[in-house]
Amino acid sequence: MNQANLSTPVANPRRGSLQRTLLTVALILLACLAPTVLYPTFLMKGLCFALFAMAFNLLIGYVGLLSFGHAAFFGAAAYIVGHALKVWGLPVELALVIATLSSAFLGTIVGWLAIRRQGIYFAMITLALSQVVYFVALQAPQTGGEDGLQAIPRGYLFGLFDLSDSMVLYYVVLAIFLACFFMMQRIVSSPFGEVLRAIRDNEPRAVSLGYQVDHYKLLAFTLSAGLSGLAGALKAIVFQIASLSDVHWHASGEVVLMTLLGGIGTAMGPVVGAFTYAALQNYLAPFGSWVFIIQGVVFVLCVLVFRDGIVGLLGRIRNRIGFN
Amino acid sequence: MSDYILETQGLGKAFGGFMAVKDVALKVRPNTVHALIGPNGAGKTTVFNLLTKFMPPTSGHIYFKGKEITQMTPVQVARLGLVRSFQISAVFSGLTVFENLRVALARPLGLSFKFWRSLDSLKSTDARANELIEAVGLTEFRDTRAADLAYGRKRALELATTLALDPELVLLDEPMAGLGQEDIAGISKLIQALKADRTVIMVEHNLSVVADLSDTITVLQRGEILAEGDYASVSSDKRVIEAYLGGDYE
Ligand SMILES: Nc1ncnc2c1ncn2[C@@H]1O[C@H](COP(=O)(O)OP(=O)(O)O)[C@@H](O)[C@H]1O
Ligand SMILES: [Mg+2]
**Residue type at B63?**
Y
**Residue type at B161?**
T
B142 touches chain A (CB under 8 A): no
The closest of A102, A51, A69, A81 to A227, measured between CA atoms, is: A51
Q: Residue A6: what pLDDT? A: 36
pLDDT bin (cut points 50, 70, 90) of residue A297 is: confident
Q: Is residue A147 part of a domain?
A: yes
Partnered with residue B201 across adjacent β-strands are B34, B171
Q: Is the pLDDT at B170 greater than 70, yes or no? A: yes
- Beta carbons of A203 and A213 less than 8 angstroms apart: yes
Cβ–ligand 1 contact at B46 (below 6 Å): yes
pLDDT bin (cut points 50, 70, 90) of residue B196 is: confident
B90: left (phi over 0), alpha (psi -120 to 50) or beta: beta
pLDDT bin (cut points 50, 70, 90) of residue A231 is: very high
C-beta atoms of B114 and A204 within 8 A: no
Q: Is the pLDDT at A9 greater than 50, yes or no? A: no
| Paired sense of beta strands B59-64 and B67-68, if any | antiparallel
How many C-beta neighbours within 10 Å does residue B57 have? 23
- What is the domain extent for residue A223? 37-248
The pLDDT tens digits of the residues spanning A110-160 come to 999 999 888 889 999 999 999 999 998 888 888 887 787 888 888 878 878
Report the half-sphere exposure of B189 (CA within 13 A, side-chain side): 9
Q: Where do the H-state alpha helices sit in A115-201?
A: 119-139, 166-188, 191-201
Sign of CA dihedral A127, A130, A136, A137: negative
Nearest CB among B99, B145, B148 relative to A194 is that of B99
B10: left (phi over 0), alpha (psi -120 to 50) or beta: left
**pLDDT winner (highest mean) among A224-228, A313-317, B104-108, B201-205:** A224-228
Q: Chain A partners of B78 at a C-beta cutoff of 8 Å?
A: 207-210
Q: Is residue A308 part of a domain?
A: no
Q: Is the pLDDT at A12 greater than 60, yes or no? A: no
Q: Residue A144: what pLDDT? A: 80
Q: Residue A322: what pLDDT? A: 65
- Beta carbons of A251 and A97 less than 8 angstroms apart: no
The pLDDT of A70-98, averaged and rounded, is 93
Q: Is residue A4 part of a domain?
A: no
The closest of B138, B125, B6 to B63, measured between CA atoms, is: B6
Nearest CA in chain B to A210: B75
The pLDDT tens digits of the residues spanning A259-282 come to 988 888 888 899 999 999 888 888
DSSP letter assigned to residue A117: S
Q: Is the pLDDT at A8 greater than 50, yes or no? A: no
pLDDT bin (cut points 50, 70, 90) of residue B246 is: low
- Beta carbons of A50 and A275 less than 8 angstroms apart: yes
Mean pLDDT for chain A overall: 87
The pLDDT of A198-223, averaged and rounded, is 94
Strand boundaries in chain A, DSSP class E: 156-157, 161-162
Q: Chain B partners of A17 at a C-beta cutoff of 8 Å?
A: none
When divided into structural domains, chain A yields a total of 1
Q: Residue A250: what pLDDT? A: 86
The pLDDT tens digits of the residues spanning B37-86 come to 998 889 999 999 999 989 999 999 999 998 999 999 999 999 999 998 88
Q: Is residue A266 part of a domain?
A: no
Q: Is residue A108 part of a domain?
A: yes
C-beta atoms of A216 and B52 within 8 A: no
Mutate to test the interface with A, among B45, B92, B168 (most CBs of A within 10 A): B92
Nearest CB among B95, B115, B161 relative to A190 is that of B115
Nearest CA in chain A to B75: A210
Q: Is residue A12 part of a domain?
A: no
Q: Which residues of A touch B (CB under 8 A)?
A: 1, 4-5, 7, 9, 183, 186-187, 189-195, 197-198, 200-202, 204-212, 215-216, 219, 223
Q: Is residue A58 part of a domain?
A: yes
Q: Is the pLDDT at A7 greater than 60, yes or no? A: no
Q: Is residue A27 part of a domain?
A: no
The closest of A133, A15, A146, A22 to A75, measured between CA atoms, is: A133
SS (H, E, C) B82-120: EEECCCCCCCCCCCEHHHHHHHHHHHHHCCCCCCCCCHH
Question: Rounded distance, CA A57 to CA A259, Å?
Answer: 7
The pLDDT of B202-223, averaged and rounded, is 91
Q: Mind listing the domains of chain B with CATH numbers?
A: 6-91+166-249 (3.40.50.300), 95-148 (no CATH)
Q: Which of A231-240, A295-304, B140-149, B230-239 has the lowest mean pLDDT?
A: A295-304
